[in-house]
Homo-oligomer: A and B are copies of this chain.
Amino acid sequence: MTHPERRDSAEQAEYRAHCRDWLAAHHPGEPPVRLPTSALEIMTDQQMDYLRAWQGAAYAAGLVGCDYPEAFGGGGRSDCQRIANEEMLAARTPYFPNIIGLGMAAPTVLHHGSEELKARLLPRLFSGEDIWCQGFSEPGAGSDLASVQTFAERRGDKWVINGHKVWTSLAHFAEWMILLLRTDKGHKYEGLSYFVVPIAAALGRGVTVRPLIKMTGETGFNEVLFEDLEVDDSYRLDELGKGWQVAMTTLLFERGAGDLVTPRSGGLKSSSAHTTSARAVMDLAQRTARGKGLASEDPLLRDRMVRQAIREEALKEHQRRARVPALIDHPMRLPLQNKLLASELAQDTAALALDVAGPAAGLYLGDEHAPAGGQWPLAYMNSYGITIAAGTSEVQRNILGERVLGLAKSK
C-alpha cells in the first residue's frame, strides 16, 4: 500500500486529519438500493435522495469545494480537494450525484460567471441541492460540437431559446443546465454563446425533458427540447460570442485537465456496487470453471488480465508523474490522455470479463445465474457510452496529436 500523506504541508496534514476523523464518524453506510456504476446512470428518486444526502453532509463538513473561495460557498483552501478525495476514496464512500455540477459547471461558472451568479449558484451546487446537467450535444452536433443549432434570439434583456439537446445525463433530476447555443447564425465559432438555464423551473413551460433509452435498455440520459424558453441575459457566462471559449473551459475540466481538482468521492465496494477493474475480473476468473480447472488458470486469460492490471497501474501512476515537472515533456501530455485511457481501459476490461465468463456472459440483469448479476455485459455496453461521449476516442486522438504532438489539424 502506498501512503499518500507523505509530503503533505502542515495545512494539508491538518485538513487530512479532519477529513479522516469526520469520515470515520459519518460514513453514510450501506446504500438502501442498488447503485449504478456512475452518477450519470442514477435512475430512481430513492438513489438520488440517498446520494444527495451524502453530498450535502460532506459539503457541510468541508469536504466538497474546499479549494473554492469562501465567498462562493467554498472552503478557501489551496490544494486540499485532492486530499479530501483521497480520504473519501480510502473510506469507501459512495459517489456524489452532482457530478456534472462539480466537474463541469462549477469551474466554468467560477472562471466565466458574474460575481452574483457565483454567489448564488455555487453553494447549492456544492451541497447537491441543485443538480446540474449539460446541454452541449445535438442530433447534428456530436464530434463537431461547434455546429450546434440551438438558437437564442434577443428580445430586450431577455433571450428566447429554441432547440434540441441530446445525451443530457441527469436532466430529469436537474435544476440547472449549462447550455451552449448559437446567438449568431453567420459565424460558426464566434456565433456561440453560453448560458446557465434553470430548466426544472421551466418544465412544461418551454422545456421538455424526455428520457432516451440506452442500448442496455436502461434510461439515464435524456433529450431536452426548448420551445420559446425565455431566459434573462444575466444568466449568460462571459461575453456574447465567447461561448466556444467558455465551452473549452468546461471540456478541459471534463477531461480532468483543469486547474482545480474536482470534488470526488467513491470507493464504496458492496454487494450493490460493481467495479470495472482487473482485480474484479481476476476474482471472476477464480470463481469460473473452465475446462478441467478454473478460468484463472488459463494462460491466455491470465496474460490478458495482467495486461489490464498493467494499464490500470500506469493510469494511476500518471496522476503522480503529471506532478513531477522533470518527468514530463509537455504539460498537457498526460492530462489529455486521461479520458481516452480510462474509457478504453474500461471497455477492454469489461470485454475481457465477458470472455472469462464464457457462455454465461450472455446472462443479463434479470437472470439469477448471471455472473456478477449481469453487471459485466452491462458494463461492456455502457463502456461505449464512455468511448463515445465527451469527445469520442477518435476525437481524443486528434486532440492529442494536434495539441501535444503538434501535428497538422485533421479537419
CB of A326 within 8 Å of the partner chain: no
Kindly provide the distance from the CB of A172 to the nearest chain B CB, expressed in whole angstroms. Answer: 38
CB of A300 within 8 Å of the partner chain: yes
Kindly provide the distance from the CB of A149 to the nearest chain B CB, expressed in whole angstroms. Answer: 23
Please report the C-alpha to C-alpha distance between residue A299 and residue B300 in the assembled complex, in whole angstroms: 7
- Convert A269-307 into 0s and 1s, putting 1 for each residue whose CB lies closer than 8 angstroms to a CB of B: 000000000000000000000000000000110010000
Please report the C-alpha to C-alpha distance between residue A303 and residue B299 in the assembled complex, in whole angstroms: 10
Kindly provide the distance from the CB of A332 to the nearest chain B CB, expressed in whole angstroms. Answer: 27
- Convert A332-368 into 0s and 1s, putting 1 for each residue whose CB lies closer than 8 angstroms to a CB of B: 0000000000000000000000000000000000000
Please report the C-alpha to C-alpha distance between residue A303 and residue B304 in the assembled complex, in whole angstroms: 13
4 residue pairs A–B, Cβ–Cβ below 8 Å? A299-B299, A299-B300, A300-B300, A300-B303
Tier of interface size on chain A: under 10
Please report the C-alpha to C-alpha distance between residue A303 and residue B298 in the assembled complex, in whole angstroms: 12
Task: Please give, as numbers and ranges, the residues of chain B lying within 8 Å of A299 by CB-CB distance.
Answer: 299-300
User: When A and B form their complex, which 4 residue pairs have the shortest distance between CB atoms, in order from nearest?
Assistant: A299-B299, A300-B303, A299-B300, A300-B300
Task: Please give, as numbers and ranges, the residues of chain B lying within 8 Å of A300 by CB-CB distance.
Answer: 299-300, 303
Task: Please give, as numbers and ranges, the residues of chain B lying within 8 Å of A303 by CB-CB distance.
Answer: 300
Please report the C-alpha to C-alpha distance between residue A84 and residue B303 in the assembled complex, in whole angstroms: 47
Kindly provide the distance from the CB of A285 to the nearest chain B CB, expressed in whole angstroms. Answer: 15
Please report the C-alpha to C-alpha distance between residue A300 and residue B299 in the assembled complex, in whole angstroms: 7
Kindly provide the distance from the CB of A279 to the nearest chain B CB, expressed in whole angstroms. Answer: 22
Query: Which residue of B has the minimal Cβ distance to A299?
Result: B299
Q: Which chain A residues numbered 294 to 329 have a C-beta less than 8 Å away from chain B?
A: 299-300, 303
Q: Which chain A residues numbered 139 to 166 have a C-beta less than 8 Å away from chain B?
A: none
Kindly provide the distance from the CB of A305 to the nearest chain B CB, expressed in whole angstroms. Answer: 13
Kindly provide the distance from the CB of A12 to the nearest chain B CB, expressed in whole angstroms. Answer: 46
Kindly provide the distance from the CB of A341 to the nearest chain B CB, expressed in whole angstroms. Answer: 24
Please report the C-alpha to C-alpha distance between residue A336 and residue B300 in the assembled complex, in whole angstroms: 34
Please report the C-alpha to C-alpha distance between residue A303 and residue B302 in the assembled complex, in whole angstroms: 14
Kindly provide the distance from the CB of A213 to the nearest chain B CB, expressed in whole angstroms. Answer: 30
Kindly provide the distance from the CB of A235 to the nearest chain B CB, expressed in whole angstroms. Answer: 40
Please report the C-alpha to C-alpha distance between residue A300 and residue B303 in the assembled complex, in whole angstroms: 8
Please report the C-alpha to C-alpha distance between residue A303 and residue B303 in the assembled complex, in whole angstroms: 12
Please report the C-alpha to C-alpha distance between residue A299 and residue B293 in the assembled complex, in whole angstroms: 15
Kindly provide the distance from the CB of A298 to the nearest chain B CB, expressed in whole angstroms. Answer: 8
Kindly provide the distance from the CB of A30 to the nearest chain B CB, expressed in whole angstroms. Answer: 42
Please report the C-alpha to C-alpha distance between residue A299 and residue B299 in the assembled complex, in whole angstroms: 7
Kindly provide the distance from the CB of A66 to the nearest chain B CB, expressed in whole angstroms. Answer: 48
Kindly provide the distance from the CB of A10 to the nearest chain B CB, expressed in whole angstroms. Answer: 52
Please report the C-alpha to C-alpha distance between residue A300 and residue B300 in the assembled complex, in whole angstroms: 6
Please report the C-alpha to C-alpha distance between residue A299 and residue B298 in the assembled complex, in whole angstroms: 9
Kindly provide the distance from the CB of A154 to the nearest chain B CB, expressed in whole angstroms. Answer: 38
Please report the C-alpha to C-alpha distance between residue A299 and residue B302 in the assembled complex, in whole angstroms: 11
Kindly provide the distance from the CB of A408 to the nearest chain B CB, expressed in whole angstroms. Answer: 13
Kindly provide the distance from the CB of A303 to the nearest chain B CB, expressed in whole angstroms. Answer: 6
Kindly provide the distance from the CB of A306 to the nearest chain B CB, expressed in whole angstroms. Answer: 11
Please report the C-alpha to C-alpha distance between residue A303 and residue B300 in the assembled complex, in whole angstroms: 8
Please report the C-alpha to C-alpha distance between residue A353 and residue B300 in the assembled complex, in whole angstroms: 19
Kindly provide the distance from the CB of A407 to the nearest chain B CB, expressed in whole angstroms. Answer: 14
Kindly provide the distance from the CB of A343 to the nearest chain B CB, expressed in whole angstroms. Answer: 24
Kindly provide the distance from the CB of A304 to the nearest chain B CB, expressed in whole angstroms. Answer: 10
Kindly provide the distance from the CB of A157 to the nearest chain B CB, expressed in whole angstroms. Answer: 45
Please report the C-alpha to C-alpha distance between residue A299 and residue B303 in the assembled complex, in whole angstroms: 10
